[in-house]
Amino acid sequence: MVTVAFWLFSGVAILSALLCITRRSPVASALWLIATFFSIAGLFVLLDAHFLAAVQVLVYAGAIMVLFLFVIMLLNLGRPGPGDMKGATGRVIALVAGLLLVAELLILRTAVPPAQLRRTVSAVTELLRTQGPVKALAVPLFQGYLVPFEVASLMLLAAIVGAVVLAKRRV
Amino acid sequence: MLLGPALTVSAILFTLGVVGVLLRRNAIVIFMCIELMLNAVNLAFVALSQQLGIDGQVFVFFVMTVAAAEAAVGLAIVIAVYRHRDTVNLQTINLLRG
């Protein structure tokens, strides 16, 4: 059952990613990318990351993609026009580079993580079962990773100020 | 149990993102392909966190933060460039070429 759901979500994710990079209209690309993000959220659920699945739908499929669609429509890029695909040479280069990269990544997949890092699968599922998906993530986030968390908030502030300054009409 | 298949899917999605960056000329579509690559890496993190501890999921949290900031600043740059050049086609934008 879990395996069937896994391959269903994987298939939808890969298919919609493929459609995302081949559709001519940027709006269609963005909508297919939203479908990919939803499928990846489903994969997160199957991989015991329930909280991250919710955040994925809220932040990626919700906030970030709405921002993309907003900019596409603000710049009026949704109208049909000549495609922005590269020519035959560019396509061949992209295909060869993609095949090489996927071969490399699949070879890398056989690497085994060092034994001292590895924990039994039941340890994490047990942690998630006893503490719940939110607490299991919140405790390390606010204890061991507190400084990176605060730095991330500063980075978001800088990004907000930077976005406003860059997009303002008269600086 | 699902670790191997999840890493395979992650590799395929990352490659699709790279191919998209190499294939397209529209700056916004290239941004979307970068988001796709970040998501593929997130999937690998989540899959490995089952075996290597919960820290992988904390990292995904930070990756999402960086992706949100990157999208906001990047799209602001796209808007600023569009004002000057009236296009988002990267082949005609050569502001840094001097």
Other residues' Cβ atoms within 10 Å of the Cβ of residue A89: 8
| Interval A153-165 mean pLDDT | 93
pLDDT, averaged across chain A: 87
Task: Tell me the average pLDDT across A22-28.
Answer: 89
What is the pLDDT at residue B2? 80
pLDDT of residue B92: 79
Res A171 pLDDT > 60: no
Residue A159: closest CA among B75, B21, B18:
B75
The minimal CB distance from B18 to the residues A71, A97, A164 is found for A97
At residue B10, the pLDDT reads: 93
Count structural domains, chain B.
Answer: 1
Give the pLDDT confidence score for residue A108 in this predicted structure: 84
Provide the shortest C-alpha distance from residue B94 to chain A (in Å).
Answer: 17
The whole domain housing B37 covers 3-97
A133: distance to nearest CA of chain B, Å? 10
Report phi then psi at A85, rounded to 5. Answer: -70, 150
Residue A9 has pLDDT above 80, yes or no: yes
Q: Which residue of A has its CA nearest to B4?
A: A109
- Confidence at residue B50, expressed as pLDDT on a 0 to 100 scale: 83
Select the residue from B30, B39, B42 to test the A interface by mutation, using most A Cβ atoms within 10 A.
Answer: B39
Domain boundaries, chain A: 1-78, 120-171
> What is the ipTM metric for this complex?
0.91
pLDDT given at position A111: 77
Fold designation for A1-78: Four Helix Bundle (Hemerythrin (Met), subunit A) (1.20.120)
pLDDT band at A121 (very low <50, low <70, confident <90, very high): low
Distance in angstroms (rounded) separating the CA atoms of residues B97 and B93: 9
Q: Which of A1, A43, A104 to mutate to test the interface with B (most CBs of B within 10 A)?
A: A43
CA nearest to A94, candidates A2, A18, A35:
A18
Set of chain A residues whose Cβ sits within 8 Å of the Cβ of B87: none
Give tens-digit pLDDT for A61-101: 889 999 999 999 988 877 766 667 788 888 899 899 999 99
- pLDDT for residue A124 is more than 80: no
Q: Does A61 touch chain B (CB under 8 A)?
A: no
Stretches where chain B sits below pLDDT 70 are: 97-98
Quote the tokens at residue A107. 């070879």
Q: Assign residue B72 the CATH number of its domain.
A: 1.10.287.3510
